[in-house]
Amino acid sequence: MSVEIHSRPRILSVRRLALLATTVAGLSAGAYLFAPHNAPYAPAALAQNLSEQTQGVARPAGFADIVEKVKPAVISVRIKTAAPAETTGTENSPFPRGSQMDQFFRRFGMPEGPPNTPRGRRFGQAQGSGFFISADGYAVTNNHVVENASTVEIATDDGKTHTAKVIGADPRTDLALIKVEGGSFPYVKLADNPPRVGDWVLAVGNPFGLGGTVTAGIVSARGRDIGAGPYDDFIQIDAPVNKGNSGGPTFDVNGSVIGVNTAIFSPSGGNVGIAFAIPAETVKTVVAQLRDKGAVTRGWIGVQIQPVTPEIAEGLGLKKGTGGALVAEPQKDSPAVKAGIEAGDVIVSVDGKPVKDARTLSRMIGSMAPNTTIKLGIVRKGAEKALNLTLGELPNTREARADTGNRGRDSRRGNEPRLGLSLAPAGSEPGVVVAEVDPNGPAADFGFKAGDVILEVGGKTVGTPDDVRKALGDARSEGKRSVLMRVKSGQGTRFVAVPLGRA
């Protein structure tokens, strides 16, 4: 084992430490380093004000009592996988290798494969963390820690090792449930209430293979979306976590698990004070299904949705601050089609609960069981409606989206120089094909590409370039500052708000 010395530690003299302690004490008493112009310097008054504001606030002198209580339930998870010859271990990034997101958001399962393994079939090893949730050996960790594992071994805080089996896993939330047989184990409970921003938290795990490591910090933010999946709702913490902490718990000051550590923001690969944990509320729902069925089933309505931007809201005539999720297109034979949902509808509530945005709708529907009947509140062409819908089951594989990239050009296409588009009729299919896009034109700024199909402009179905021109002209004459276009591409169907000033 080699030890790298990255920098020489700075040593302070006793006198300098005393001066530093005096300065810190002054700051704790409420003294200002910088006072407003002409403001009186009154440290006693400031200290009294600070004391009044913090009365009744729990300020633990240390975390030793909590650590003593919860640390025995935290485990190190070591897995062995059969790896192809070109890999060295377990790569646990949720993003494409080498991509910008891969460089910044890194899963931290700590690969350990040797760099010069002979060619042919070989094995990789990886380490992570986990924690017992019941005395009979059920434990929670991350899906990316145990994914494709041929064997799973755990080490408890007292140094004992046990073989574990994977009961079930859910890639969409990156959670997994494992089971250790033959024993009674210390365990911890998942928190009943979500934490507040600013609450103290404690992370325990196995960073870099150093099992039983404890770090502390606060909740920095909630509801974070880091692009890992459709159900992102992470708690952001600043307690230092690193590779190997994956799957480990984050505790509150009562010793309850508020989240499962799963990702870090790390340009360098190490801790920079930004980590993300899956909320306990999500863990409870997922683990209950994994324990009962070994898999997770989710409700599904079958729509392509997108956020309601201010430009889109104006184009749809929505009231300011309506929120909701815009339906770009219902999928064929889906529960949405059967319930009567149409493209252009804005879903604003589910069973009376407001839908803030498209991501909120995904989480709400995904948390419900298939075959549940719900009431959707929608806004259609400015009018509010209520629809009853019976949820289907979210398919394991997504339905293939239409690919319009191979459409031929039509000699009758019209030219739209003010949009920077060359358009052509779509033949026997509805819409108008985008034949060419001027890279320096306005349309390129809004993501238009050759092969896209414009289905609607301003809520009107279009079939020829002249239909597009007329719809744009009508929107201008009505005094609209932007017009909505419903566009179909290889990635699905979406609405695009094009400012008329640039058309």
User: Which are the catalytic amino acids?
Assistant: 144, 174, 246
- Buried-exposed string 411-450: b where 16+ CB fall within 10 A, e elsewhere: eebbebeebbbbbbbbeeeebbbbbbbeeebbbeebebbe
User: What is the DSSP secondary structure assignment for residue 71, as one 8-state letter?
Assistant: G
Overall residue count recorded for the chain in this entry: 503
Q: What are the CA-CA distances from residue 20 to residues 14, 46, 373 (Å)?
A: 10, 21, 64
Q: Write down the H helix ranges in 54-138.
A: 64-70, 100-104
What's the gap between Cα 63 and its chain centre? 30
Amino acid letter for position 76: S
Nearest-angstrom CA–CA distance, 190 and 438:
55
Tokens standing for residue 390: 């019976």
Contacting residues for 328 by C-beta, under 8 A, at least 6 apart: 303, 304, 305, 306, 343, 486, 492, 493, 494, 495
Nearest-angstrom CA–CA distance, 313 and 219:
33
Residue of 297, 296, 214 whose CA lies nearest to 261: 214
Q: Write down the H helix ranges in 234-296.
A: 280-293
Give CA torsion, residues 475, 480, 482, 484, to 10 deg. Answer: -50
Contacting residues for 440 by C-beta, under 8 A, at least 6 apart: 420
Work out the widest C-alpha separation in the chain, in whole angstroms: 87
Contacting residues for 280 by C-beta, under 8 A, at least 6 apart: 190, 191, 194, 256, 257, 258, 259
- Buried-exposed string 378-394: b where 16+ CB fall within 10 A, e elsewhere: bbbeeeeeebebebbeb
- Contact call for residues 71 and 187 (beta carbons, < 8 A): no
Q: Write down the H helix ranges in 277-357.
A: 280-293, 310-316, 335-339
Q: Write down the H helix ranges in 214-323.
A: 280-293, 310-316
Nearest-angstrom CA–CA distance, 288 and 164:
18
Contacting residues for 159 by C-beta, under 8 A, at least 6 apart: none
Tokens standing for residue 233: 């709702």
